[in-house]
Structure 1
Amino acid sequence: MTSLDKAKLWLEESFDAETRKEVQRLMDDNPSELDDAFYKNLEFGTGGMRGIMGVGTNRLNKYTLGQATQGLANYLHQQFSNEQIKVAIAYDVRHNSKEFGKLVADVLTANGISVLLFKEHRPTPELSFTVRNKQCKAGIVLTASHNPPEYNGYKVYWNDGAQIVAPQDYGIIAEVEKVQFHQIKFDGNDDLIEWIGPEQDDVYIDACIENSLYQNEGREDLNIVFTSIHGTTYTTVPKALAKAGFTKVDFVSEQMVPSGNFPTVDSPNPEEPAALSMALDLAKYTQADIVIGTDPDGDRLGIAVRNLQGDMQLLNGNQTNTILTYYILDQWNKQAKMTGKEFIGSTIVTSDIFFEIAKRFGVECKVGLTGFKWIGKMIREAEGTQKFICGGEESFGFMTGDFVRDKDSCGSILLACEVAAWCKANARTVYQYLIDIYKELGLYNEGLLNIVKKGKDGADQIHRMMMDFRLSPPKTLAGSPVEKIKDFENQTCRMLSENQVLEMNDIPKSNVLIYYTADGTKVCIRPSGTEPKIKFYFSVKQSITSEQDFKHKLADLDNKIQEIKKDLKLL
């Protein structure tokens, strides 16, 4: 069926007048946009869906959201046929998020399912916490994380508070695909809605404090700058910092105002240095020790600290997670909490330094695919046999403890501020603490390159690029022979030096390639699951012995990453 044929179906009476009018406009005035809106169905993937808002099968709208929710409702009734079903719903600051939240609630209640619906914007990790805290069967959050303003999304959580994984994900997908638009029940029952307000924030914040803080040294002397970058954490982080005893906090007032336009930034992504520029400017005035910013749905955090020259420097996700993981394990070790049955969680694109940290403290480091739902799965599978301590991934996500089953900026911010306060009280900086870790375990330096390819043509180009990297892998990278290639789509590991191919069955299939070289270099290539990008992750390493050694070798490793990009013809 062509895009035009699919669009004509949206002119039928089962679609509302506003939708029919917009479809007709696209048919009359913008055939290329019509094709992009209808050339495929917006996929309900293994965690939910994310897309540009607008009419069409490839857009996020009343009908694609309704279809997803009707399918979820059908699956919930199958799984909990003789039980009361309750679902928690939260939403971020994006355009239409609040309206979408009520729409989703209406579809659920129309199907006889009770709903806990937040009255206002709340961070994604608070939704994850609430699912378990309120004993819900599932949770839904309306968010597109740090995507541009035209995007929104829909993410599903299971009764353990983690994002859905097998078998629930495929079961829900199967039910969603069965639903025809005319079968969606939109006429909700408000009697089945329980509204959630600030009282839930206090319960969540108390859990963050309990699970994230270890000692109280220097909190009152730490100078903090915080920005929510127009996102949801304006509701929780200021209150959490105050309750934990961090009294010297300055806020970027312009960015503490929630807005789906994100008016002061090009991208509301704390991974981007520009997103924290206003916070960094404020830090110069206040002489801050640490700068922190979060993304719109409040699960990611970006951190800047004073470097060896005394200037504010944004840490990458691996560096932040290295500091937090080492500190937590060191605290557990000092407090004699280790039993030999603990583990930390990481992902295949995250720095391998976490294996070294785990080895240093005698815990296991478990690794999964990209995304915190896989760390959530680790926790669920280990319950009763192993204790989860913390976990992180390179894309500015971290979680401490298992009270939240997704990356959590609030608890991570409290922990980062404790580390910074402890360092300051001991005449050190967080950056020096990081260098001390590198001196002990080796200097790991990472880089990330995103190549954007939009639309149908862009998706085709990304597919061809992945095919080329599979069929014609490089023989060397920055002068070091490629010794091993892991292909997670084929679930194979090619040991080139031994001319051997091994099967990999411990991690699910995914369109990811990783090259490993003889000198410890690691390059991972994967298409983004949420944005029109192909992503390249670079990791290189050397040993260091001093702060002076750090400066020179970090520069050498930066140059090495540039060489690798040239070898892959990315420059």
Structure 2
Amino acid sequence: MSTLDKETQDRINQWLSSEYDQETVSKIQQLVDQQEETELLDSFYKELEFGTGGLRGIMGVGSNRMNKYTIGKATQGLANYHKKQFPDQQISVAVSYDSRNNSQSFGHLVADVFSANDIKVYLFKELRPTPMLSFAVRHFGCQGGVMLTASHNPKEYNGYKAYWNDGGQLVAPHDKNVITEVNAIKSVSEIKFERKDSNIELIDADFDQIYIDANLALSIHPEAVKAQKDLKIVYSPIHGTGITIVPKMLNAWGFEQVAVVDEQAQPDGNFPTVVYPNPEEEEAMSKAMQKGQELDADVVMATDPDADRVGVAIKLPSGEYQLINGNQIGSLLTYYVLSSKKDLGQLKANDYIVKTIVTSNLFSDIAESFDVKFYETLTGFKFIGEVMTKVQGKENYLVGGEESYGFLVGDLVRDKDAVNACAFIAEMAAYFKNQGKSLFDVLISLYMKYGYYKEKLTSLTKKGKAGADEIKQMMADLRADLPKELGGIAVSEVRDYEKGEATDMKTGQKSKIDLPKSDVLQFITMDGDVISARPSGTEPKIKFYCSVRETLEFTEDYGQISNRLDDKVRQMMADIVKD
């Protein structure tokens, strides 16, 4: 006796019809015959949502999976929207893909559908990173673009990032309008799958040099690189697209000692040497750190499969290597860019930086100390890109980033760019080494100047429909019973970004938050500590971010204060993270 609800069963029956190819129908029928009801429910309980960043999901058959039909439908909806937005124009889009299983075939499928709709497609001949797709949209003057990637998700996932004509991911009103167009497609017969070769132009490896040269023009201290051309750099692409461009970029910058982690150099969608291809994870960085130790490297870096995020390990005075988090990487980059430009007399009155609401306030502290304006956005680099586009021509973007290891120096693209970041991290290491300082020395000096910020991210994974419902309930429970204190410290303010309001917990006074609505809760304590709760938009997770701060006066107190802040984080997190 089936326990599936009628809506799910109706979707299954639709997918068993002759509209779908025989291979798809056979796989679904097999699940039905074997009474795999949990798999059927997760595969069909909803349509795979074309969310505000595109699609992301597990590959397989079904309406809630990444496959030929869900990708075809998304692309047809996007094509329909482009035609409405750009009537009587020759529309063009750029398409790229990463090293994930099926990414190349999905990329060609997307190109087929666009071309069948008489849209010109600039299709990368081989896999290339997400930031190069953003760059290509701007370089070729395209109306949009699509990147096939699930970023750092596990190997069973794939995804579809949609871009607009500024090179940024879709934002309001286009995101919701495209979703409407996609949802308006009710039949497979409405999707044009027949490729028109005449509408497709391949982007070959010559394009790499255009991208490299544009980035190289942003270099702040080429003389430091020249002096430190033998800086020892270890790099891993973690089986992703970074191998196609990061070593070339570093060599073009002038670095001659770039050692690639051989075991992780080959693009491979099974990511055989890691559990998750995510440079936020210590396990994923372990081989690069091991090689760094062997070579006595100055800096160790690794990028995720689509090379938009970068993880970094730095050398401690003890000779050991330590991973630094996204807040630390971004703070170092922000300080390097702003201090260098000030020293060179290049800071302008209209310069600005950008960070997200869950990113360390150390970013904004640094900006304020240099009298540089800062913007704060919702989580997701597309919102940073949106700010860049809005103030383009009036204000000058310098650097921006988010705690999830995404950074960008200069405004060549409208997305996070680990290729660009790798080059600037290496240049920054060379510049400070030229002054006799390590990146660890610089980090400690930032803590002594601005306060020792310590952050921790805790993620709870909740898979499938049951997991999605549980995450929704967790946020509802938090809103229904707001914590009055965290770790024994009174909560002074609660910011509910879904309601668009901040509440003073002492007076009850409410004030408006001038950002788009988003399912995020933020708690600020009397000490100025911040804890944020946020369901992930790209993974089946709910995330809790904690940031605490204490004054650091003497270098020798670093270890003691670090331990004290760790204890504080643990106590605060215990009061809010309920699994």
TM-score (norm 2): 0.97
Instruction: Name 1:116's counterpart in structure 2.
Output: 122
Shift of 1:276: 1.0
Alignment of 1:97 with 2:103, yes or no, is: yes
Distance of 1:207 and 1:193 partners within structure 2:
25
Match of 1:27 among 8, 32, 36: 32
Give the residue type in structure 2 aligned to 1:468.
D
Instruction: Name 1:527's counterpart in structure 2.
Output: 535
Aligned pairs for 1:289-304 within 5 A: 289-304=298-313
Give the residue type in structure 1 aligned to 2:266.
V
**Identity score, percent:** 47
Q: 1:72 to 1:222 in 2, by over 3 A?
A: same
Match of 1:518 among 500, 505, 526: 526
* 1:501-557 C-alpha deviation (Å, 9 max, x unpaired): 1222x2101100000001011000000111110000000001111211222111111
Distance of 1:45 and 1:500 partners within structure 2:
34
Q: Is the 8 A contact 1:143 1:152 kept in 2?
A: yes
Distance of 1:443 and 1:212 partners within structure 2:
29
Instruction: Name 1:320's counterpart in structure 2.
Output: 329
Instruction: Name 1:403's counterpart in structure 2.
Output: 412
Give the unaligned 5+ runs of structure 2: 1-5
Q: Is the 8 A contact 1:209 1:411 kept in 2?
A: no
Alignment of 1:239 with 2:248, yes or no, is: yes
Give the residue type in structure 2 aligned to 1:228.
P
Alignment of 1:184 with 2:191, yes or no, is: yes
Give the unaligned 5+ runs of structure 1: none
Shift of 1:34: 0.9
* 1:225-250 C-alpha deviation (Å, 9 max, x unpaired): 00000000100011111111111111
Instruction: Name 1:496's counterpart in structure 2.
Output: 505
Instruction: Name 2:89's counterpart in structure 1.
Output: 83
Distance of 1:14 and 1:442 partners within structure 2:
62
Alignment of 1:49 with 2:58, yes or no, is: no
Aligned pairs for 1:6-405 within 5 A: 6-29=11-34, 30-180=36-186, 181-217=188-224, 218-405=227-414
Q: Is the 8 A contact 1:486 1:513 kept in 2?
A: yes
* 1:459-490 C-alpha deviation (Å, 9 max, x unpaired): 11111111111111211112211000000011
Give the residue type in structure 1 aligned to 2:201.
E
Instruction: Name 2:424's counterpart in structure 1.
Output: 415
Match of 1:483 among 486, 492, 502: 492
Distance of 1:168 and 1:495 partners within structure 2:
34
* 1:331-373 C-alpha deviation (Å, 9 max, x unpaired): 1111212221111010011001112111011111101111110
SS of residue matched to 1:565: helix
Instruction: Name 2:516's counterpart in structure 1.
Output: 508
Give the residue type in structure 1 aligned to 2:32.
M
Q: Is the 8 A contact 2:220 2:340 kept in 1?
A: no
Shift of 1:310: 2.2
Distance of 1:165 and 1:67 partners within structure 2:
20
* 1:181-240 C-alpha deviation (Å, 9 max, x unpaired): 221011110111000111111111112222244332133131110000000010001111
Q: Is the 8 A contact 1:231 1:298 kept in 2?
A: yes
Q: Is the 8 A contact 2:544 2:577 kept in 1?
A: no
Distance of 1:403 and 1:546 partners within structure 2:
40
Shift of 1:569: 5.0
Distance of 1:530 and 1:411 partners within structure 2:
23
Distance of 1:468 and 1:252 partners within structure 2:
45
Q: Which deviates further from its counterpart, 531-540 or 300-309?
A: 300-309
Q: Is the 8 A contact 1:53 1:59 kept in 2?
A: yes
Q: Is the 8 A contact 1:88 1:140 kept in 2?
A: yes
Distance of 1:211 and 1:21 partners within structure 2:
54
Give the residue type in structure 2 aligned to 1:69.
T
Give the residue type in structure 1 aligned to 2:319.
G
Distance of 1:173 and 1:74 partners within structure 2:
11
Aligned length: 570
SS of residue matched to 1:415: helix
Shift of 1:570: 4.0
Match of 1:549 among 536, 557, 566: 557
Give the residue type in structure 1 aligned to 2:166.
D
SS of residue matched to 2:502: strand
Q: Is the 8 A contact 2:221 2:431 kept in 1?
A: no
Shift of 1:264: 0.3
Distance of 2:256 and 2:393 partners within structure 1:
39
SS of residue matched to 1:141: strand
Q: Is the 8 A contact 1:92 1:231 kept in 2?
A: yes
* 1:45-81 C-alpha deviation (Å, 9 max, x unpaired): 1110100011111001111101100000001111111
The CA RMSD over aligned residues, in Å, is 1.1
Distance of 2:294 and 2:498 partners within structure 1:
50
TM-score (norm 1): 0.98
Alignment of 1:558 with 2:566, yes or no, is: yes
Q: Is the 8 A contact 1:26 1:34 kept in 2?
A: yes
Q: Is the 8 A contact 1:304 1:315 kept in 2?
A: yes
Distance of 2:238 and 2:343 partners within structure 1:
37
Distance of 2:446 and 2:577 partners within structure 1:
33
SS of residue matched to 1:375: helix
Alignment of 1:441 with 2:450, yes or no, is: yes
Distance of 1:407 and 1:548 partners within structure 2:
36
Give the residue type in structure 2 aligned to 1:447.
K
Give the residue type in structure 1 aligned to 2:388.
I
Shift of 1:308: 3.3
Q: 1:103 to 1:525 in 2, by over 3 A?
A: same
Q: Which deviates further from its counterpart, 136-145 or 20-29?
A: 20-29
Q: Is the 8 A contact 1:221 1:421 kept in 2?
A: no
Distance of 2:49 and 2:300 partners within structure 1:
37
Distance of 1:319 and 1:421 partners within structure 2:
18
Q: Is the 8 A contact 1:522 1:540 kept in 2?
A: yes
Distance of 1:101 and 1:36 partners within structure 2:
25
Instruction: Name 1:4's counterpart in structure 2.
Output: 9
Q: Is the 8 A contact 1:213 1:414 kept in 2?
A: no
